[in-house]
Amino acid sequence: MQYPPQQASVQSPFTTTITKENTRTILSVLLATSIFSLLFIFSLSSTNSSTNTAPQYPRPDPYLFPTRPTFNKIPSDPAPSSVAYLVSGSAGDAGRILRLLYATYHPKNFYLLHLDRFASQTERDSLAVTVQSVPIFRAAQNVNVIGKADFAYPTGSSSISATLHGASILLRLSANWEWFIPLSASDYPLITQDDLLHILSYLPKDMNFVNHTSYIGWRESRKLKPIIVDPGLYLSEKTQMFYATQKRELPHAFRLFSGSSHAILSRNFVEFCIIGTDNLPRTLLMYLSNMPSSLPNYFPTILCNSRQFNRTVVNDNLLYVARDEPFRKEFRPLNSTEFDVMIQSAAAFARGFHFDDPVLDRIDQEILGRSPGQVVPGGWCLGESEDNICAVWGDADVLRPGPGASRLEKRIVRLLTNGEFRSHQCVVE
């Protein structure tokens, strides 16, 4: 093996000898320069600190999330759960979304607001500005607005895409939530978040509350076999849904289950649908891409066809809807005549409210204890003013469950009894 020839060391004719006196001179210059640089840096930092006097929230407020010693934790008292909410609406729904945000707000939760592309960018920007103006939202750093919106046609598969998009963002935003709940602008809570988080903290974190049935019936000809083309998947402007004249056969590789677009899903299941290695969620997504009203079929079908999750399903989504007949396909709008029935149902949410219907004011006053333009008071609120008790806040882990927690507890206990739970879980009819 040959190596390149080594070059001989050549003494430069310009090389000078550094004396001890020159060395002292150089060190003195370097020392003086260093001291001047440090003084200059300190002067800049002091100037910046004196001018930045406005309060900022680069991190969540430590009063909401104080550091606790691990040895003080009581084993029999579980830490409160956390919910990730995807609140969706369309054109003209910014006010409804904001009211729903106030009604479901808790500092431990995470909120992603989505005004779809049927809404204007001005409406979307206005919603974001309003959210940033609320002090508790800035302090907790837990409310976000989707800037680049999606189309979400109710009768197409673009609604699945929008839901999965929102869920994936929430997974990225925080690793601390355990449950995912998608809400529409026509939904409203029937219990406080202190009630809901208190009950969820005592449940296994892998449970999924999803209405589901394998009975097809009228859905076969109207919902499952027709072929459609959802323009929300490939067009940038609103247009009509395209229906094909052909129909297709039902699948043999998996069993179709139908349900509701509302669900309370575990984080483990959401991760399974979005980043899991099992191909069933993606296969089903491709199959449903040309099916009418595909979102109510997506989550129930994955849950009941997965060995990993088919034993975690509770056949109840804890949502109240009003139907004139038990098997009627569509639900009717809610009003004040439904108030007592809604509350007695012990549901966590109700669907089908008109914008600013008087029944919402009654729910705010009698159930949530919420004043107009304010969030629902919870254990974290320490203010003395009755008009705005949440103007001063403390530990977000402090919950004060009320009568709503007792109602929801009785409903869930009834659902989880041995005879009720297993007999209604992914049953093939």
Alpha-carbon distance of 79 to 103, in angstroms, equals 22
Task: Return the higher-pLDDT residue of 17 and 368.
Answer: 368
What pLDDT score was predicted for residue 56? 52
Q: At 349, give phi and psi (nearest 5°).
A: -140, 165
What pLDDT score was predicted for residue 23? 46
* Segment 299-337, tens digit of pLDDT: 999 999 999 999 999 999 999 998 765 545 567 899 999
Residue 216 has pLDDT above 90, yes or no: no
Q: What is the mean pLDDT of residues 264-290?
A: 96
Q: Which two tokens stand for residue 373?
A: 């333009």
Question: Is residue 112 classed as helix, strand or coil in its secondary structure?
Answer: strand
Alpha-carbon distance of 95 to 127, in angstroms, equals 8
Mean pLDDT (the chain) is 86
Q: At 362, give phi and psi (nearest 5°).
A: -70, -40
Say which residues have a Cβ less than 8 Å from residue 233's Cβ, sequence separation at least 6. 151, 156, 157, 158, 161, 289
Residue 73 has pLDDT above 70, yes or no: no
Q: Which residue has the tokens 């020392």?
A: 31
pTM surpassing 0.75?
yes
Alpha-carbon distance of 140 to 108, in angstroms, equals 8
What pLDDT score was predicted for residue 52? 41
Residue 36 has pLDDT above 50, yes or no: no
* Segment 3-25, tens digit of pLDDT: 344 444 334 333 334 444 554 54
What pLDDT score was predicted for residue 330? 67
Residue 32 has pLDDT above 80, yes or no: no
Residue 50 has pLDDT above 90, yes or no: no
Domains of the chain listed by start with CATH number = 83-218+221-424 (3.90.550)
CB 63 within 8 A of CB 393: yes
Q: Which two tokens stand for residue 110?
A: 């995470």
Alpha-carbon distance of 41 to 32, in angstroms, equals 15
Q: At 247, give phi and psi (nearest 5°).
A: -130, 160
C-alpha dihedral, 169 to 174 to 176 to 181, nearest 10°: -20
CB 187 within 8 A of CB 351: yes
Q: What is the mean pLDDT of residues 150-179?
A: 95
User: Judging by DSSP bridges, how do beta strands 179-184 and 265-266 pair with one another?
Assistant: antiparallel
Alpha-carbon distance of 165 to 275, in angstroms, equals 12
Task: Return the higher-pLDDT residue of 423 and 145.
Answer: 145
What pLDDT score was predicted for residue 149? 94
Alpha-carbon distance of 203 to 408, in angstroms, equals 12
What pLDDT score was predicted for residue 26? 45
Residue 170 has pLDDT above 50, yes or no: yes
Residue 97 has pLDDT above 80, yes or no: yes
What pLDDT score was predicted for residue 16? 38
CB 188 within 8 A of CB 362: no
Residue 206 has pLDDT above 50, yes or no: yes
**Segment among 44-58, 123-137, 191-205 with least mean pLDDT:** 44-58
Q: Which residue has the tokens 């407020």?
A: 61
Helix (H) or strand (E) holding 243: strand 242-247
**Segment among 44-48, 245-249, 351-355 with least mean pLDDT:** 44-48
Residue 293 has pLDDT above 60, yes or no: yes
Q: Which two tokens stand for residue 224?
A: 């499952």
What pLDDT score was predicted for residue 49? 39
Q: Which segments of 52-93 does DSSP mark as H helices, in order?
A: none
